[in-house]
Structure 1
């Protein structure tokens, strides 16, 4: 079937739908709904049999939906209407939520229903961004499959909605007044408000006398010892970019903040402590604020039998210079332990490479970009050169650019089914580093590595396994995935062939080093990157700014690749 994906941006959900439908043999094209004329031109040029709108904020022109089947994917249960569905669901602590596929009509979200799905919401308020990327996206993709199947049936008609008999209702767009909280409010109330706005638009408040929108909130009451007398709203501690703010009955860690409109400086979402800068110069740094397991860490290490697990969870998968230094240090420490397998697990987003926001907001963006790329290269080198353990990378969330290449340094790469990978750099005007000229060709071969980095297309988990980019795709939700990869790592550690695999790995690494030292790949990559960063030969500065400000970036020149050998460790555990 010839299908047009009409979207406000080619976001994670739209990419997931795109790769899924293409794998099923459909002719799929996506277009951004810039304005009505752009939409009409796309429809006239492509002549689709079906239009699907996985992520669309704008109305579809009447003459378009009246001329051919046009289906809107709405992140709410049947009958729900409005642009802030997930925000209201989290704020009001809805016990369950849903996703609905419905026909485009004159009134937004009011058309006949093609299909719907529901799912349970956790009692602990989820981040809106995580809810959207997880259960909402999974349900939406399942819906799209059903829509396409129904669209192929002659005479199929979607069901009209009887608003008196459905769980959802029309809701207005949520305003900042609806999101408002006071720092004197209970911690649980503040957490729910901020998490309902996570990703966008955040909640406006004041920190250290600065008007900001805040994101990425975690309870921090156990870190409050000695600061109980502080007034609500005051910042009492810092930690790796986050700030601990006193609330009415405890404290909240705020990880990210952005200046509100009208505030001097770039409107870039940054680690809160970085944004506040000298305003919190006298606030002490927490040396070990996570002594208790109730407060998650950005980077953590645990041991389970002969498996050492390094977990890192960077907001939106962006790895700043400081975060990369800390992750490299954690990997060195993990590699020094007497474990047999090292398991590397990412967060909701595995990793997307360097932190473009921190770079954009830096007083010297080129210098900060150079520091950042060198720092993430150090992380990759720790993974590639670890020969005391087998290394398994567990990619449970989407990954892009240097984040994909970071995972490829491992001996095995396990991905969760439904994950979307973007293993390329050109759309950001970069040649790329992270030792990609070494790790990518040894997995997929030089010709395919060249095509991947030149075509700049999203890749499904199934395709990644088919071409050897990943070793296995595991089914299930994130919790099941995290359990399965630990089970698999423990099976590798206990396998009788472990010692032989480890010896083979060391021999391959030594042979590669004799043929061409690992450092030479880095030298070549950084030589190219120096032109991209300092000479801006392919528009990195403009592409970075476009990305941060939600504009469409340009494309850059294509890199070249080389081929290498790698260790192949079989899947020894039943996973999934």
Structure 2
């Protein structure tokens, strides 16, 4: 890999994923720059030889990806594209998974594939899976992609492709009569964005940090409290919900949201 490259690290947020890649790779090139947010004139003014996108929510315009290779981390396998692939995986209860690195092109997630690493999704919310499973693979994924790109080897072969739309609160709507696993999957798929709405004691909240519990009670009824969380009945068994967000408000410990600070 050429040592004197001008490399732009382009991201939508300087989150844990971006930090891990920036910390590991920034010092390995001739000149590195971090840019949060898509500013095309500023990107072109830097005149990078390579753009690395560990966490990018916006679509890159042709003016950028036609100027130099732009490698994008996708938190899913190459055959399942779109901005919410991991959320859809959690909602469907998938376990076999992968993270992939492709080169930006006109169509979302359909550029040349330079690397892909398999993983088995563990039970948890989207944000937990990002932190525990996607972030640790970001550095080795880019390492494999860059090694292949600069070795002169062709991109990896791509198979069938399915674009999945951005997940919405409507996709996560549920009825407390549904089974505990069904509701749990919807809450975990919406944690932390876009959030899963549900009624508790006549008020609609965003529900976060849910865990299964082996207890039974009327669906939708508060069955008690566990620590700072609330226990709620479903069509099969109970759920512990640790955080609630009133509409227009901020996330609170569930017990505080329902009972106040006293």
TM-score when normalising by structure 1:
0.43
Contact map agreement 1:2 1:49 (CA 8 A) in 2 = yes
Pair 1:4 & 2:8 matched: yes
Decide which of 181, 192, 196 is 1:199's aligned counterpart: 192
Deviations 1:112-160 (A, max 9, x none): 11111111223xx32211111122122222111122333434x555346
Corresponding residue for 1:73?
A: 73
Q: Give the 5 Å matches for 1:16-95.
A: 16-24=20-28, 27-33=31-37, 35=38, 38-44=39-45, 46-95=46-95
- Aligned partner of residue 105 in structure 1, secondary structure: coil
Partner of 1:234: 221
Matched, 1:161 2:149: no
Q: State the superposition RMSD in angstroms.
A: 2.1
TM superposition shift of 1:43 = 3.2
Higher strand proportion, which one? 2
Corresponding position of 1:246: 233
Q: Contact 1:201 / 1:213 at 8 angstroms: preserved in 2?
A: no
Deviation track 1:258-308 (CA, whole Å, cap 9, x = no partner) reads 123xx4xxx312211222335x98xxxxxxxxxxxxxxxxxxxxxxxxxxx
CA distance in 2, matches of 1:23, 1:50: 14
Match of 2:131 in 1: 133
Q: Is the contact made by 1:40 and 1:64 (CA closer than 8 Å) also made in structure 2?
A: no
Question: Quick check: which one's helix share is greater?
Answer: 1
Q: CA deviation at 1:187?
A: 1.4
- Give the corresponding residue for 2:150: 152
Secondary structure of 2:163's aligned partner: coil
Alignment of 1:441-452 (within 5 A): none
Aligned to 1:152, the other structure's residue is in SS state helix
- 2: CA distance, partners of 1:55 / 1:157: 24
Give the SS at the match of 2:105. Answer: coil
Give secondary structure in 1 for the equivalent of 2:138: helix
What SS class does the counterpart of residue 181 from structure 1 fall into?
Answer: coil
d(CA) in 2 for partners of 1:220, 1:105: 45
Q: Which structure is larger by alpha-carbon Rg, 1 or 2?
A: 1
Structure-1 separation of matches of 2:103 and 2:207: 36
Counterpart for residue 271 of structure 1: 253
- Give the whole-Å Cα distance in 2 for the aligned partners of 1:5 and 1:141: 13
Q: SS of the residue aligned with 1:54?
A: strand
- Give the unaligned 5+ runs of structure 1: 282-576
8 Å Cα contact 2:54/2:72 also seen in 1: yes
CA gap of 1:202–1:240, structure 2 versus 1, over 3 A, is: same
Higher relative contact order (CA 8 A, sep 6+): 2
**Residue 23 of structure 1, CA deviation:** 5.0
CA distance in 2, matches of 1:99, 1:29: 24
Check the 8 A contact 2:230/2:255 in 1, yes or no. yes
2-structure distance, mates of 1:114, 1:81: 15
Matched, 1:217 2:210: yes
Contact 2:43 2:64 in 1 (8 A): no
Q: Could you list the runs of 5+ residues in structure 2 that have no partner in the other structure?
A: none
Q: How many pairs align?
A: 258
Partners of 2:101 and 2:125 lie apart in 1 by: 23
